[in-house]
């Protein structure tokens, strides 16, 4: 069966001007990512992986080249069009969670649905269902300061999933978590992948990258290697503890 392409970079470059210096963050990158792939994007600081994630997530536009997302060239779209693409097509998970501190878990998860114009009743139903998916049905009224680090990340994951996006982009999703909670979060991402989502994890941790089925390594703004992971690390049994941190 032919794989369905979801992302295609054609000769993507991203240059920044810093004073009189031109920083070449991405240089002539061409790559395809397919539906239901689990990809790790790796590289040291300054390798271009963060810029690559920003372009993938339509948070930044390339200086040159074309980016096709679900067959549409988004590299030439306006800021408003890109905001619409981000809301409908991409779910973001951040290292620092990026939750609204004065809002409950339910309200945080409902936020993308507000921008999508979903009615209030449907927003509540969808957000409750997604929080249940990440085993937080009993924490929907809690604010971020009443949750552990692992629970906050699970709220962030629910928010990323609530719109049924084409792609889930996770930027260092375990960076602020202890090792036990990191395993729980990676177990959850594996489960989400098994349900049909395309997942791209940006990480500098080899242990985290080994959960992915494909590993892309960046160096000096270019793809240094792109290989299938033959030693996939899987988590068969995990359960969230009340005190995950």
pLDDT digits (tens, 9 = 90+) for 141-181: 999 999 999 999 999 999 999 999 989 999 999 888 888 88
30 touches 5 (CB < 8 A)? no
Token pair 């369905």 in the structure block, residue: 4
CA–centroid distance for 65 within its chain: 22
* pLDDT given for residue 3 in this prediction: 87
Q: What is the pLDDT of residues 71-123, one digit of tens each?
A: 999 998 999 999 999 988 999 998 888 999 999 999 999 999 998 889 999 99
Q: Is the pLDDT of residue 243 over 90?
A: no
DSSP string, 196-232: T-EEEEE-S-HHHHTTSSEEEEEETTEEEEEEE-SS-
Q: Is the pLDDT of residue 190 over 60?
A: yes
* pLDDT given for residue 1 in this prediction: 65
220 touches 49 (CB < 8 A)? no
Give the CA dihedral 19, 25, 28, 29, nearest 10 degrees.
Answer: -160
Q: Average the pLDDT over 23-28 and give the result.
A: 96
Q: Average the pLDDT over 115-134 and give the result.
A: 93
pLDDT classification of 227: cutoffs 50, 70, 90: very high
Which tokens is 87 given? Answer: 């809301």
* pLDDT given for residue 239 in this prediction: 62
As a whole number, the mean pLDDT across the chain is 92
What is the CATH topology of the domain spanning 5-228? Rossmann fold (3.40.50)
Q: Is the pLDDT of residue 69 over 70?
A: yes
* pLDDT given for residue 32 in this prediction: 97
Task: Please give the DSSP secondary-structure letter assigned to residue 63.
Answer: S
* Residues 6 or more apart whose Cβ sits within 8 Å of residue 9: 29, 30, 31, 32, 55, 65, 66, 67
The domain limits of the chain are 5-228
Q: What is the pLDDT of residues 26-56, one digit of tens each?
A: 999 999 999 999 999 999 888 999 999 999 9
What does the alpha-carbon distance between residue 206 and residue 73 come to, in Å, rounded to a whole number?
A: 32
Task: Work out the number of other CB atoms within 10 angstroms of the CB of residue 142.
Answer: 16
């Amino acid at each position: 069966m032919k794989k369905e392409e979801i992302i295609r970079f054609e000769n993507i470059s991203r240059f920044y001007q810093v004073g009189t210096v031109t920083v070449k963050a991405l240089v002539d990158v061409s790559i395809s990512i397919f539906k239901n792939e689990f990809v790790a994007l790796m590289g040291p600081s300054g390798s271009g992986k963060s810029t690559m994630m920003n372009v993938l997530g339509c948070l930044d536009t390339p200086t040159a080249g074309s980016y096709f997302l679900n067959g549409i060239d988004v590299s030439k779209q306006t800021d408003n069009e890109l905001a619409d693409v981000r809301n409908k097509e991409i779910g973001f998970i951040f290292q620092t969670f990026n939750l609204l501190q004065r809002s409950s878990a339910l309200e945080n998860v409902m936020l993308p649905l507000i921008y999508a114009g979903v009615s209030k009743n449907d927003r509540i139903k969808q957000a409750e269902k997604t929080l249940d998916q990440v085993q937080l049905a009993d924490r929907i009224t809690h604010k971020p300061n009443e949750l552990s680090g692992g629970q906050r990340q699970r709220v962030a994951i629910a928010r990323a999933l609530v719109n049924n996006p084409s792609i889930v982009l996770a930027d260092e999703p375990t960076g602020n978590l202890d090792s036990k909670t990191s395993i729980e979060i990676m177990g959850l991402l594996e489960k989400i992948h098994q349900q049909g989502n395309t997942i791209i994890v940006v990480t500098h941790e080899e242990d985290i990258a080994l959960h992915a089925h494909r590993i892309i390594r960046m160096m000096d703004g270019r793809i240094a290697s792109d290989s299938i992971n033959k030693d996939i690390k899987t988590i068969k049994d995990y359960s969230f503890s009340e005190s995950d941190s």
